[in-house]
Amino acid sequence: MNDFTSILDEFQIAIKETLSEKKIGIAFSGGVDSTLLTKICTDLGYQVTLLTIGFPGSHDILFSKKINKIMKLPHQILEIDPATFPEISLKIKNKINTDNLSWNENCIAFYYVSKLAQSLNLSTVITANGIDELFCGYNAYRDAIKEGKQIVLELMDSKIENELKMMKAVNLVSSEFGVKILQPFLSERFIKFSKKIPINYKIKDSEDLLRKHIVRNIALHIGVPEISANQRKKAMQYGSLIHKELIKSS
């Protein structure tokens, strides 16, 4: 498929234009987005350390270990202490000053990612945020596609706007540790390019449980493990068990 080359080129350009240093951490769950990001970065010659956070026994910790048994990269894990979690989550909520549950959960997750990065003397962490928004990763796109392409694009605009704002809050939290969280796939150029990719490359119909098809195909094309490339979406706050613990402690 000729489209692979041009889309992969844009992924690479987004990363190179975002990063100014070679030594980086990658927020890593083992899912297709973070593993694709990892594979492209290593292919480009970046010095990568995978960073995974979660409560003991959480999906993200177990799955990331499984994927990295194949990839064999430096991998550091921070297990969240349930005893101190309520205090930290309250501190973060007060810092970002919002009742938006998703924002709070993501900021908590990146608090721990940043803490782990600082302990490893990493000042830059990159994430795959933006892929779900631009390539119809969320379940909401299944409802939107019933209403047609225009509704999908309107939802996409809304999701991107929210993500850009949320990542500012994330960086407010990560600044406590002197760590920058960067999102190459939320750059203006990458957003503009991705929105031109045909919708049917991303989602087939309202019954499409997998979605992000072109992303998964590119991942397989460049050597991402098949078990990762075909993994169904599990958002960071769920895979880490942060959502479950936050609801329990509130």
Sort strands 75-79 and 47-54 into parallel, antiparallel or unpaired.
Answer: parallel
Of the chain, the percentage scoring pLDDT greater than 70 comes to 99
Complete DSSP assignment for 197-218:
S-GGGT--STT-SS--HHHHHH
H/E run at residue 176: none
Average of per-residue pLDDT across 60-72: 97
Average pLDDT, the chain: 95
Question: What mean pLDDT is predicted for residues 82-111?
Answer: 95
Instruction: Determine the pLDDT at residue 2.
Output: 46
**Could you tell me the pLDDT band of residue 40, with boundaries at 50, 70 and 90?**
very high
Q: List, for residues 133-169, the tens digit of each pLDDT value.
A: 999 999 999 999 999 999 999 999 999 999 999 999 9
- Average pLDDT of span 111-129: 98
pTM equals: 0.95
Cross-strand bridge partners of residue 180: 124
State the pLDDT confidence band at 46, using cuts at 50, 70 and 90: very high
What DSSP state is assigned to residue 233? Answer: P
How many other CB atoms sit within 10 Å of the CB of residue 148?
10
Average confidence (pLDDT) over 216-228: 96
pLDDT score at 250: 67
Q: Quick one: three-class SS letters along 77-138?
A: EEECCCCCHHHHHHHHHHHHCCCCHHHHHHHHHHHHHHHHHHHCCCCEEECCCCHHHHCCCC
Cα separation, 213 vs 201, whole angstroms: 6
